[in-house]
Structure 1
Amino acid sequence: MTLPELPAETTSFIGRTAELARIASVLDTARLVTLTGPGGVGKTRTAIRAAHGMRDRFEHGVGLVPLSALSDPELLPNTVASALHLPEQSALPAADVLAAYLADKRMLLVLDTCEHLVDACAMLCDQLLRTAPDLHIIATSRQPLDVPGEQVLPVPPLSVPAGPGESRAGEDCDALRLFTDRASAAAPGFEVTDDNRADVLSLLRRLDGIPLAIELAVSRLRTLSVEAMLGRLDHRFRLLTGGRRTTVARHQTLRTTIEWSHELSTPEERSLWARLSVFAGEFRLEAAEAVCSDDDSLAEWEVLDALIGLVEKSVVLKVETEEGARYRMLDTIREFGQEKLAETGHAAEQAVRQRHVAYFLDECGRFDAEWLTDGQAAWMRRIAHDQANLRAALEHCVATPPLACEGLSMATRLWGYWHCAGLLTEGRYWLRRTLDTCAQPCPERVKALWLSSWYMDLQGERGDNWPLLDEAEALARRLGDDRGLAWTLAFRHHTRYFRGLTDGVADGFDDARRRMDEAGDETALMMSAFFAGFFHIITGATGEGVGLCDDSLRRNAAHPAECWSRGWALWVKSVGLWLKGDHQHSVDTAREGIRVKDALRDVMGIAHFLEGFAWHAAELRHFERVAALQGAADALWRRASKEPRFGIPALHELHRHAAELARETLGSGAYHEAFNEGTKLTMDAAVRLALAENAAAPEVPPQRRGPAEGLTPRERQVAGLVAQGLTNREIAQKLVVSKRTVDSHVEHILTKLGFSARSQIVALDEEEEGA
């Protein structure tokens, strides 16, 4: 599995040489290092720079988990799993899934901004460190996690001379280097000279060397001199003299810097600053305009100008994404904005938060309406970027009784995202919470109930579906909700055949589809076709099942860029064609299907297709490829579902048959070696292996004898590629395995044949060809 890349540094990294060396040294003996310090001191950048420098020490990579936008501690394990690209489709608790995944990994995790989740972070770190002996963690927090074995490393402010008499000595101090570097970008032409150096160093001392405070101060150089800034800071400090005795000076200084920047903002910018604080994570300009404008103090047309002003003042950061420009606020600045929003009064604050909910409810409605259309991929990316805001909106709905039903609508409208992104556990979490808080009888409740049942089927939990479906059916009939009733009946029969009950299921699907047709629900007809098709296929009516899949694909043809529904219809059809004996047509269908699923990174869908490619590899007698594909599928199944292959006996039998053929030819040891190699493949590599028809050549016929007869089929294949002059890295790329695996194969070949050099392998190959 490929971890997401650490973020690239967009500005130069200044100082922290001693801190970085200390982190690297401590991680040699301790497995949890917590970087502590006040907000704005640079904990995050120091942690990320340290992680960049230690990548080579961790075989399985470095993962960054930003936590600033997460407010619910229950979702901490899910958030970590998502950052590691582990889809939350398992019925097991996310913490247990994480522990199982990390158990054999040598990996470094960076948990960034833990202070508001300190207890949850402490418990999760303790569990993971106990079960994963080679896991190391760097945490950033304003306070220690208090976990056994934790090493706490304070991140101090940047160095700055202590007094006015040390101006020349401070020329190379880190705080001055940061100020000079940022000033050259913020105010071209500004220089630190003999004339202004004393004032600059005085300013840096007043800012206590805190990087965020320096960054904010530098942004004012476009309009104020250093001398003018010093005068204003002096005034702000005096205002804060009466602060709480327990508040450390650095915190007062940072707050003073932010408050001073706030005072220098225009009334429109100050109003926008406060209102933007309701956003969690990134936001789009359109979202800011909709949420932050009103008819009184900030018109919609004024939002853009105010936002530009806040970006120029470094209050808001601009982020370039594949979806275009987005914006975000640093945590400390956002917290300050929340205080200012609260000062506007409860009614005004609630009005902003309700507009935030309304905007994202509408966003979810548009996503749901366009989910099974050509806009699917773009909407997936957009909703993924808005995930933190969706969580914040859902949490506000759950906590605000008048908005409870808006929360239920939002959770149900996100069904496609929960499913495709591998977040079934989180989807069920929000469905459950919103069902508990919104008791109003409505079509959204019907949908939430059958969605919960469906997700339970997919996660292997098949014991408590009936009460959900019974309530959904009774409510749909009472409301006259024909569409909701049709979906509920379809998933009642879905649950029946997932439990192995077949009587009446075919007629039940026919009845549900008739109701969908009468209701004019084309989406339901398209999806229910492959649900019903799968039932027919696994019960022996393959022709009828394939026909239903074709019906789904015909309905889908109006949206050629849609991938989710089409991918599932293609998978079901490929299974039907295989069981029907039309193997080549099945493989061609699977090739199209796995590409479609890969476009959406649908883990469960890709696992299904890998199984089918293993059946095909067994038919071709590519047995090491069988094992590798089954290993890759198994790794995805363990992350995607409690039970592989949906627990369907027909699929189990196809898997078993291919595996037995491979074991008989390769031997149990060689099969398991190739299987284990498959489990280590990234999802991209697994898809490439499936699509590469000649990824593994057929084994050497048994009748061939010669000096190499003691080698395994894979070792013979590697020896042949060595003889062609390929390097170990080139061989690894050709066979879609790791270079380390090829290194091991070459060592075994040399040992078995009593050779000491690769050139002897070349000579052996020539000798066998001559024979």
Structure 2
Amino acid sequence: MGNLPVVRTSFIGRSGELASIERALEEHRLVTLTGSGGVGKSRLALCAADRAEDRFPDGVWWADLSHLHDDQLLTTTVCDGVGLMDHSSRLPEDALREWLADRRLLLVLDCCERVLASCGNLVDELLAAAPGLTVLTTSRQPLGIAGEHCLDVPPLPAGDDGDEAVRLFRDRAATAAPRLALDDPATATAVEEICRRLEGVPLAIELACARLRESSTQEITGRLVSRLDALTDEARWPRHHRALRTAIGWSHELCEPLERLLWARLSVFRGVIGTADAEAVCSGGPLTCDAIAPALERLAARSVLQRVGEGYRMLDTLREYGAMWLAELAEDTSLADRHARHFASVAAQAHAGWLGPSQVAWYRRIADTHADLCAALDHLLAEDPEKAVEMAGCTGLFWSCCGYLHQARVYIERALALPLSPGPHRTRALWALGITLTLQGDHKAARRVGEECNRAARRDQDAESILSAAHSISFTYLMMGRPQTAHSVSDHALRHLPDSSRDAPSHMRCRVIRLFALSALGRLDEAYEEATRLQQISLSHGEHWARAYADHQLALIHLLQGRPRHAETHARAMLASKHTLHDSLGIALGLDLLAGAIAAQGDGVEAARTSGTGHTFWRMIGHPHRGTPELGAIRERWERHARESAGDTAYERAYHRASADDAERGLAHALERQSSP
């Protein structure tokens, strides 16, 4: 159980360090691996965490902090790392403490140096709140809190005292230059000299290996000797820093001019870099758009970039070097602005494409670029408030489904607090804030924002704005347990707007609220017709969000009217769609219904298991009501039926086993299981 990154290159040596970390994790609750950039702290921590997995029944969880430039997103990044997507209005720190309180897990925080003080405070609080928590961190400096056990990570042994650096060189060289005869005596001697000159620093060795495509080992040795001799100032370039500075600087010099320019411009990115994003942000001047893709490939071949899926990632040390050159080129301000405006455009395109066949792709795109979207918003909030509020409104609904409710609320409230002109962009931001507040259970604030959104929409005289306001208000009333009011608001908006608004995204969203309200009012025949019609409209658009909720309601109606097999089919369809969208709230709702359908068919043990998995998702999102309020009594009836079928002992065993299991594994089981004949 956990989320450790998958690394495709082999791990070389470090047996002594791994043994020390293993002992330290047995004796201390906070272990920090310290060392200079490029020395291999992250890779060592990953290997140690993987080896320790069996000791932690609740898993090993990894949070990468390398993209953080301040502490605003620290806690939410850690929440993401442990799989917590809290939907409540609590502070993220409070939600995280509660989530970890009764768990026995290992939390790895990688690259803490940028947010050192805040990271230390957070770790101190978490260790106090969660007795079963152990934390392993990597940092260029210690966190400096009580109970911290530091282990310095040295470079790999090189030269006469060991051969781990040589082994690393040989392993990476086999990929970079597979035809190189490493056993040739002259080559072997040169390899040993390279590793000795580079002081065994792993990143420096990997960068040197990348040179083997165009230089011999003897040529590399000669260049290193001359370059290192030039760096004689020990005060400025301590021993290990000199080796890494030499390797990075040499790699930079050996890049073509356009590759160096791209390296510098890529430093504005925070997360995984897609080719299209690099083309949009980094092209200009001598670096044409067509030159970006091949230059990315060459930078990856030189180990400046790492391939991650279909994109690229730059190590923090190399990003810092690129940022230094970007400032030297006096392009840092203009590139930050281009980066921000590009991702604002991505958010706008996603919002415009929400109601269509690319909906799933846009959800994934917004989730995958989260770090860069946050960086863009931070920049625009300072430089262009109008663009910031437009962007915040566009990301609102996506972030609510992707589990980023706290970020959505913070960014939208920051944007709306700025002096802004009235208009549809501000109205959309109010709508997104109202949805966010409702999902967090802050209904009083949501009603206030919904009414403000409604007043703004009337001023806009825009059909989509009016429907958005109705959606926000009716959704809040539905979640407050007032389905009649929710129905009245959504139905009035749907009936009194022109036919031209029927293809507006919020038209579909209002239909979902009206459908839920009909079911809650017991008007099941009307609800069935509405759900069937909604499903047809959804299919015509090729979207999944509304279709999933149509399936949810069809499952509920079939179940209430005594057709549990039909209910199970629709509940599974709903789960599949919500899983595709990574919508944890929708998954939790679907699991509740699926458990009821299975219980109604007499399989109490499987119903208990499904309900236990649902409990895991409800805990993960911290939802205060487990969905719409009127389902509470119905869930209790399904649970009683399941207990009677299975017996209390078997029910409790299956339920607790599932609720303690990995959420994704439990969901996979629920999706795979078929109804018994």
| TM-score, structure 2 normalization | 0.92
- Name the CA shift for 1:127/1:516 in 2 (closer, same or farther; >3 Å): farther
Structure 2 match to 1:136: 134
Tell me the CA shift for residue 17 of structure 1.
1.2
Structure 2 match to 1:570: 551
Match of 1:326 among 288, 293, 311: 311
Match of 1:420 among 379, 401, 406: 401
SS at the partner of 2:306? strand
Structure 1 match to 2:85: 87
Match of 1:465 among 427, 432, 446: 446
* 1:383-394 mapped onto 2 (5 Å cutoff): 383-394=366-377
Tell whether the 8 Å contact from 1:342 to 1:349 is kept in structure 2 after alignment.
yes
CA deviation vs aligned residue, 1:277-314 (integer Å, no higher than 9, x gap)? 111121122221221111x3322233234333322322
For residue 659 of structure 1, what is the amino acid of its counterpart? E
SS at the partner of 2:435? helix
Q: State how far apart, in whole Å, the 2-side matches of 1:689 and 1:301 are.
A: 46
Matched, 1:370 2:353: yes
Q: State how far apart, in whole Å, the 1-side matches of 2:306 and 2:668 are.
A: 37
Q: State how far apart, in whole Å, the 1-side matches of 2:644 and 2:194 are.
A: 77
* 1:176-195 mapped onto 2 (5 Å cutoff): 176-187=166-177, 188-191=179-182, 193-195=184-186
Structure 1 match to 2:475: 494
Q: State how far apart, in whole Å, the 1-side matches of 2:129 and 2:534 are.
A: 45
- Name the CA shift for 1:662/1:573 in 2 (closer, same or farther; >3 Å): closer
Q: State how far apart, in whole Å, the 2-side matches of 1:141 and 1:505 are.
A: 51
Q: State how far apart, in whole Å, the 2-side matches of 1:646 and 1:284 are.
A: 36
SS at the partner of 1:151? strand
Tell me the CA shift for residue 604 of structure 1.
1.5
Tell me the CA shift for residue 241 of structure 1.
4.0
Tell me the CA shift for residue 27 of structure 1.
1.1
Match of 1:676 among 656, 663, 671: 656
For residue 534 of structure 1, what is the amino acid of its counterpart? F
Match of 2:274 among 265, 279, 284: 284
Structure 2 match to 1:756: none
SS at the partner of 1:140? strand
SS at the partner of 1:139? strand
Identity %: 35
Q: State how far apart, in whole Å, the 1-side matches of 2:594 and 2:276 are.
A: 45
Matched, 1:530 2:489: no
Structure 1 match to 2:339: 356
Structure 2 match to 1:120: 118
- Name the CA shift for 1:242/1:441 in 2 (closer, same or farther; >3 Å): farther
Match of 1:554 among 536, 540, 558: 536
Tell me the CA shift for residue 601 of structure 1.
3.6
CA deviation vs aligned residue, 1:643-664 (integer Å, no higher than 9, x gap)? 233351x311112223344556
Tell me the CA shift for residue 377 of structure 1.
2.8
Q: State how far apart, in whole Å, the 2-side matches of 1:496 and 1:395 are.
A: 33
For residue 526 of structure 1, what is the amino acid of its counterpart? M
Q: State how far apart, in whole Å, the 1-side matches of 2:140 and 2:30 are.
A: 15
SS at the partner of 1:204? helix
Q: State how far apart, in whole Å, the 2-side matches of 1:489 and 1:594 are.
A: 27
CA deviation vs aligned residue, 1:37-57 (integer Å, no higher than 9, x gap)? 000000011111112222222
Q: State how far apart, in whole Å, the 2-side matches of 1:176 and 1:496 are.
A: 67
Structure 1 match to 2:300: 311
Match of 1:339 among 324, 335, 339: 324
Structure 1 match to 2:200: 209
Tell whether the 8 Å contact from 2:231 to 2:237 is kept in structure 1 after alignment.
no
Q: State how far apart, in whole Å, the 2-side matches of 1:79 and 1:568 are.
A: 29
Tell whether the 8 Å contact from 2:198 to 2:205 is kept in structure 1 after alignment.
yes
SS at the partner of 1:318? strand
Matched, 1:514 2:495: yes
Structure 1 match to 2:39: 41
- Of 266-275 and 81-90, more deviation after overlay is shown by 81-90
- Name the CA shift for 1:633/1:309 in 2 (closer, same or farther; >3 Å): closer
Q: State how far apart, in whole Å, the 2-side matches of 1:612 and 1:160 are.
A: 61
Q: State how far apart, in whole Å, the 2-side matches of 1:179 and 1:691 are.
A: 45
Tell whether the 8 Å contact from 1:34 to 1:150 is kept in structure 2 after alignment.
yes
CA deviation vs aligned residue, 1:251-298 (integer Å, no higher than 9, x gap)? 23322321222122222111111111111121122221221111x332
- Name the CA shift for 1:637/1:308 in 2 (closer, same or farther; >3 Å): closer
Tell me the CA shift for residue 109 of structure 1.
2.0
- Name the CA shift for 1:53/1:584 in 2 (closer, same or farther; >3 Å): closer
Tell me the CA shift for residue 157 of structure 1.
0.9
- Name the CA shift for 1:38/1:515 in 2 (closer, same or farther; >3 Å): farther
- Name the CA shift for 1:151/1:10 in 2 (closer, same or farther; >3 Å): same
- Name the CA shift for 1:514/1:438 in 2 (closer, same or farther; >3 Å): farther
SS at the partner of 2:635? helix
- Name the CA shift for 1:595/1:317 in 2 (closer, same or farther; >3 Å): closer
Larger Rg: 1
For residue 527 of structure 2, what is the amino acid of its counterpart? G
SS at the partner of 1:414? helix
SS at the partner of 1:260? helix
Tell whether the 8 Å contact from 1:99 to 1:132 is kept in structure 2 after alignment.
yes
Tell me the CA shift for residue 68 of structure 1.
1.1
Q: State how far apart, in whole Å, the 2-side matches of 1:312 and 1:278 are.
A: 21
Structure 1 match to 2:2: 3
SS at the partner of 2:307? strand
Tell whether the 8 Å contact from 2:471 to 2:509 is kept in structure 1 after alignment.
no
Tell me the CA shift for residue 175 of structure 1.
1.8
Structure 2 match to 1:659: 639
Tell whether the 8 Å contact from 2:477 to 2:485 is kept in structure 1 after alignment.
no
- Name the CA shift for 1:76/1:370 in 2 (closer, same or farther; >3 Å): same
Tell me the CA shift for residue 190 of structure 1.
4.1
Match of 1:270 among 260, 266, 272: 260
| TM-score, structure 1 normalization | 0.81
Q: State how far apart, in whole Å, the 2-side matches of 1:683 and 1:276 are.
A: 34
CA deviation vs aligned residue, 1:506-535 (integer Å, no higher than 9, x gap)? 332222113554452422222211201111
- Name the CA shift for 1:581/1:57 in 2 (closer, same or farther; >3 Å): closer
CA deviation vs aligned residue, 1:599-620 (integer Å, no higher than 9, x gap)? 3343222222222233334434
Tell me the CA shift for residue 176 of structure 1.
2.1
- Name the CA shift for 1:664/1:269 in 2 (closer, same or farther; >3 Å): closer
- Tell me: higher relative CO, structure 1 or 2? Use CA pairs within 8 A at least 6 residues apart: 2
SS at the partner of 2:61? strand
SS at the partner of 2:138? strand
Tell whether the 8 Å contact from 2:33 to 2:41 is kept in structure 1 after alignment.
yes
- Name the CA shift for 1:598/1:198 in 2 (closer, same or farther; >3 Å): closer
SS at the partner of 2:102? coil
- Of 584-593 and 118-127, more deviation after overlay is shown by 584-593
Tell me the CA shift for residue 572 of structure 1.
2.3
Q: State how far apart, in whole Å, the 1-side matches of 2:606 and 2:8 are.
A: 43
After superposition, the CA RMSD in angstroms is: 2.7
* 1:152-163 mapped onto 2 (5 Å cutoff): 152-161=150-159
Structure 1 match to 2:215: 224
Matched, 1:97 2:95: yes
Q: State how far apart, in whole Å, the 2-side matches of 1:205 and 1:591 are.
A: 60
- Of 336-345 and 482-491, more deviation after overlay is shown by 482-491
For residue 450 of structure 1, what is the amino acid of its counterpart? W
For residue 323 of structure 2, what is the amino acid of its counterpart? Q
SS at the partner of 2:632? helix
Q: State how far apart, in whole Å, the 1-side matches of 2:193 and 2:445 are.
A: 68
Tell me the CA shift for residue 364 of structure 1.
2.0
- Of 29-38 and 656-665, more deviation after overlay is shown by 656-665
Count of matched residue pairs: 674
Tell whether the 8 Å contact from 2:323 to 2:332 is kept in structure 1 after alignment.
no
Tell me the CA shift for residue 72 of structure 1.
4.1
SS at the partner of 1:138? strand
